[in-house]
Structure 1
Amino acid sequence: MTAMPPRFDITAAQIERVVNKFYAAVRRDPVLAPVFAAHVPRDVWPAHEAKIASFWRNAILYERIYDGNPMQKHMAARNVQAEHFPHWLGLFDKTLMAELPPDTARAFSALAHRIARGLRMGVEDLRTPEHAPPTL
């Protein structure tokens, strides 16, 4: 069986570096730090970063090493709000541009934005009253 080629040119080490730099920035960010602190204790950050790196390695490199459900986690985290996603993406994009070649950063950003749209919709739907009209 032939392995699928990566979505774009990036290494596992680059993905891990992006994840580590991004979450270092998250821990300093006045908007996102409290959101993450409620779910990721200080001593759990290395394991969290490893899990998220495995998510991206699965999504980009097609390594079957990730075991999780991001939608379920984001919906269960009651303090995650739809308005956090643009801020998260801005910080993520800044990290990508600082750590990766421009073409790789753009490709990674496009994938992150696509995934974030789905997660944001899940969070918004969860917060919508049962009989409210749909948001289109």
Structure 2
Amino acid sequence: MARIEMKDIRDRKDVFSLVSEFYKTIRKDEMLGPIFNRHIEEQQWPLHLEKLTDFWVTALFGTPCFKGNPGKAHKNVDRNLNYNMSQIHFGKWLQLWFSTIDALFEGEIAQRAKGAARKMATNQYLTIWKNKPEKSRC
């Protein structure tokens, strides 16, 4: 069986492809799907995917196109989940992000996407942890 030639992430189109495939997987995931599907209505997904693509284009290529506050969004989600968002959720998110990258891309930018995701997941978790009521921190 011939191996499919993989390519690196090169442009916004590739980033949109990655983001779209990733969130298709997220929305079906047993742990993360209910969270995302509860907080983002069906008709909001196309705009949300564009915003997430902006985020990753900015993160991967340094092109300043993202406008938003991911920390605020994650704090709101955690509050809506009664402060039950944990490291397990972020770990699952990373696992799915890495497997989606590995299925679609290889190369320097693909690796950069993994490194940026590790940093982002850590920072977002710390942001929500600091926002949790004292009794919810564990």
* Match in the other structure for 2:92: 87
1:4 corresponds to: none
Residue 19 of structure 1 corresponds to 19
Measured against aligned partners, the alpha-carbon deviations of 1:109-128 in whole angstroms (never above 9, x if no partner) come to 01110111100111112225
- Paired AA for residue 31 in structure 2: V
C-alpha deviation, 1:10, in angstroms: 2.9
Q: Tell me, which stretches of 5 or more residues in structure 2 are unaligned?
A: 1-7
Residues 80-111 of structure 1, C-alpha deviations (whole Å, 9 max, x = no match): 61221000000010001111114432221011
2:104 partner amino acid: E
Which protein has greater RCO, CA pairs closer than 8 Å, 6+ apart?
A: 2
State the partner residue of 2:123: 118
More helix by share: 2
DSSP 3-state at the match of 2:18? helix
| Percent pairwise identity | 25
CA separation in 1, counterparts of 2:96 and 2:127?
Answer: 21
Map of 1:66 onto structure 2? 66
2:111 maps to a residue whose letter is R
* Contact map agreement 2:19 2:49 (CA 8 A) in 1: yes
1:1-136 to 2 correspondences below 5 Å: 10-77=10-77, 78=79, 79=81, 81-82=85-86, 83-129=88-134
Which runs of no fewer than 5 residues in structure 1 stay unpaired? 1-7
How many pairs align?
A: 125
Report the CA distance between 1:9 and its aligned residue: 6.1
Q: Secondary structure at the match of 2:39?
A: coil
Counterpart CA distance in 2 for 1:105 and 1:57 is 12
Does the 8 Å contact 1:22/1:92 carry over to 2?
yes
The change in CA–CA distance for 1:60 and 1:19 in structure 2 (over 3 A counts) is same
